């Protein structure tokens, strides 16, 4: 609990909100400013212009690489600012979960759960305990008996994922990818073979407030993935001739609303995931999280991942979502919701309940 120790030395009247200049930083910083916080953005050289132009940062710290945020002199600057770090996907991708665990700054959220990100085994345990259905996983490719998606870990993102319907097809594609140098034996070892779920994507974002002890449903997005989202524009006949493999590289997001009859289930999922989180890593979830799902034509919700922090899909709701509007009226983004929680925690002297 490094963060809650450090925050004892902070001047809580003068807290600032800090985040890495990437991912969802614009809405995080804008939301913090709207609540009257000072804001600090930590940028990789060459990307500071974005935060200058949109006038969301009171201070811009420029680094050669994001990982330099771990350097003592940078941490010192952030402590002088009484900075609370807001984690997001780029903190995880560029600083890494092991470093986040030991980052000597108060982090908004539960850093132990944040470090689950990317660990498909821990995520699966958590989500299934919460009663969520997940796609079947095949430990041994020889057992493939239906259409599967083969996923590679880490920075490869959705690039290079491939589909196969049998062991022979799997083996043929793997050999080809290895021969072309597209993957390594190591990538293969850490890959996951998952049943391909037919349906549509919905990414449910929630906010758990320890202050109100309530799970708020925030909104839904779907990703815009290249090339899979446009593969249907090529007639099947031509696809056969070109040997196209789908890729799932995210380039943006769309806002969505769910048919209202799905809402009871969506709310229940959020509640269950929070409840289990308290058992697996006390005090459990704090703030934003997102459950990535596929909805089938039987209206089953199949989850394949959880993100324990703000997701970039909430960027479509900088002015608020259809659901945050119901709770708070206009203009409450996820970034602003985070700032609201921090402000209230400071006012009620409960800051240690929301940082770790």
Q: Which residues bind ligand AMP (CB under 6 A)?
A: 135, 149, 151, 158, 194-197, 201, 223, 225, 248, 292, 294, 304-305
Residue 315: exposed, middle, or buried by beta-carbon count in 10 A (0-12, 13-18, 19+)? buried
Task: Report in angstroms how near the CB of residue 304 gets to ligand AMP at its nearest.
Answer: 5
Give the shortest CB-314-to-ligand AMP separation in angstroms: 16
Nearer to ligand AMP, 155 or 236 (CB): 155
199 versus 322: smaller Cβ distance to ligand AMP: 199
Instruction: Using alpha carbons, select from 125, 159, 268, 144 the residue that is nearest to residue 194.
Output: 144
State the minimum distance, in angstroms, from the CB of residue 270 to ligand AMP.
Answer: 19
| CA-to-CA dists, residue 248 to 131, 149, 161, angstroms | 27, 11, 7
Q: Identify which of 58, 62, 32 has the alpha carbon closest to the alpha carbon of residue 47.
A: 62
Distance, CA of 303 to CA of 305 (rounded, Å): 6
**Residue 114 CB, nearest distance to ligand AMP (Å)?**
17
Nearer to ligand AMP, 305 or 353 (CB): 305
Distances (CA, A) of 92 to 100, 178, 196, 275, 312: 7, 28, 27, 24, 13
Nearer to ligand AMP, 47 or 156 (CB): 156
Phi-psi region of 331 (alpha: psi -120 to 50; beta: other; left: phi over 0): left
Identify which of residues 194 and 333 has a Cβ nearer to ligand AMP in the complex.
194
Q: Which residues contact 173 (CB under 8 A, 6 or more apart)?
A: 150, 162, 164
What token pair was written down for 227?
């090339």
Minimal distance, residue 258 CB to ligand AMP, in Å? 17
Map tokens 């600012």 to a residue. 81
Query: Is 18 within 8 Å of 42 (Cβ atoms)?
Result: yes
Tokens of 160: 């290079």
C-beta closer to ligand AMP: residue 295 or 345? 295
Nearest distance in Å: CB 154, ligand AMP: 10
Q: How far is the CB of 78 from ligand AMP (least distance, A)?
A: 31
Nearer to ligand AMP by C-beta: 174 or 345? Answer: 174
Least distance (Å) between residue 125 CB and ligand AMP: 17
Nearer to ligand AMP, 268 or 305 (CB): 305
How many C-beta atoms surround the C-beta of residue 108 within 10 A? 29
Residue 319: both structure tokens together: 């002015």
Residues in the chain: 356
């Amino acid at each position: 609990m490094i963060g809650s120790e450090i925050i004892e030395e902070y001047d809580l009247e003068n807290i600032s909100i800090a985040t890495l200049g990437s991912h969802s930083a614009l809405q995080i910083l804008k939301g913090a400013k709207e609540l009257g916080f000072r804001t600090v953005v930590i940028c990789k050289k060459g990307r500071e212009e974005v935060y200058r132009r949109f006038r969301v940062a009171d201070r811009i710290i420029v680094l050669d690489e994001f990982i330099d945020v771990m350097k003592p002199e940078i941490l010192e600057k952030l402590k002088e600012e009484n900075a609370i770090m807001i984690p997001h996907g780029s903190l995880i991708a560029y600083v890494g979960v092991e470093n986040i665990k030991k980052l000597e700054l108060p982090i908004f959220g539960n850093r132990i759960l944040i470090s689950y990100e990317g660990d498909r085994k821990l995520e699966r345990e958590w989500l299934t305990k919460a009663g969520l259905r997940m796609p079947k996983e095949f430990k041994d490719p020889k057992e493939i008996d239906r259409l599967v998606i083969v996923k590679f870990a880490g920075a490869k993102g959705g690039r290079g994922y491939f589909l196969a319907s049998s062991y022979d097809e799997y083996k043929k594609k793997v050999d080809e990818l290895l021969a072309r140098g597209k993957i390594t034996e190591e990538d293969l070892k850490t890959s996951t073979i998952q049943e391909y779920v037919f349906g549509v994507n919905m990414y449910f974002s929630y906010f758990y407030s320890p202050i109100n002890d309530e799970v708020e449903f925030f909104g839904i997005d779907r990703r815009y993935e290249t090339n899979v989202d446009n593969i249907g524009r090529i007639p099947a006949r031509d696809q056969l001739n070109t040997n196209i493999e789908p890729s799932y590289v995210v380039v943006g997001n769309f806002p969505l609303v769910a048919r209202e009859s799905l809402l009871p289930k969506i709310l229940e999922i959020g509640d269950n995931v929070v409840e289990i989180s308290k058992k697996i890593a006390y005090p459990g979830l704090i703030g934003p999280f997102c459950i990535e799902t596929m909805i089938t034509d039987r209206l089953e919700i199949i989850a394949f991942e959880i993100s324990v922090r703000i997701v970039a899909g909430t960027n479509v709701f900088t002015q608020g979502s259809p659901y945050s509007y119901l709770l708070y009226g206009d203009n409450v983004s996820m970034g602003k919701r985070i700032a609201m929680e921090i402000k209230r925690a400071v006012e009620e002297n409960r800051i240690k309940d929301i940082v770790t």
